[in-house]
Amino acid sequence: MLFEVKGKFKREEPMNRRYVQWIGKSCAGVFGLALLGHLAIPVSGQTPGESLYKTKCAVCHGPDGKGETAVGKANKLRDLGSTDIQKQSDDELGGIIGNGKGKMPAYGKSLKPEQIKELVAYIRSLKK
């Protein structure tokens, strides 16, 4: 009886160790992701949408959304804060960001749906 219990423990030990390792790895993964998430969170005062916009979109649309950049002028970009843009629904704006439009690159693969929503929210904040 005693022997049997011992044997059982011995046989299970490697399994347990693997399990512990697995937990360790997953924890490291989750921790890493959390860390990344924190790094992506902007420096004080900026919303996630604003910092995303500044890193991904401002090159063409300009820091204030007016499109006063070389690319913006060449493509006659409309001011993102203008009524023409603001009258479009969140879904329409999100669709343009996700699927692209003309020379506008599609971001559906590189951004998460939440990030596109944050960008739309930022575009809303540009409204005059």
Binding site for ligand HEC (CB under 6 A): 56-57, 59-61, 71, 75, 77-78, 85, 93, 96-97, 101-105, 107, 119, 123
Closest CB to ligand HEC among residues 32, 105: 105
> How many beta carbons lie within 10 A of that of residue 79, not counting itself?
19
Tokens of 121: 């929210």
Task: Tokens 């059982």: give the residue.
Answer: 8
Shortest Å distance, C-beta 116 to ligand HEC: 8
Tell me the three state secondary structure of residue 8: helix
Task: Write the DSSP string, 58-76.
Answer: HHHH-TTSS--SHHHHHTT
Closest CB to ligand HEC among residues 44, 110: 110
Shortest Å distance, C-beta 82 to ligand HEC: 9
CB 120 within 8 A of CB 93: yes
Closest CB to ligand HEC among residues 13, 92: 92
Closest CB to ligand HEC among residues 13, 64: 64
Residue 126: name the closest of 68, 64, 49 by CA: 64
The residue at minimum Cβ distance from ligand HEC is: 102
Shortest Å distance, C-beta 64 to ligand HEC: 13
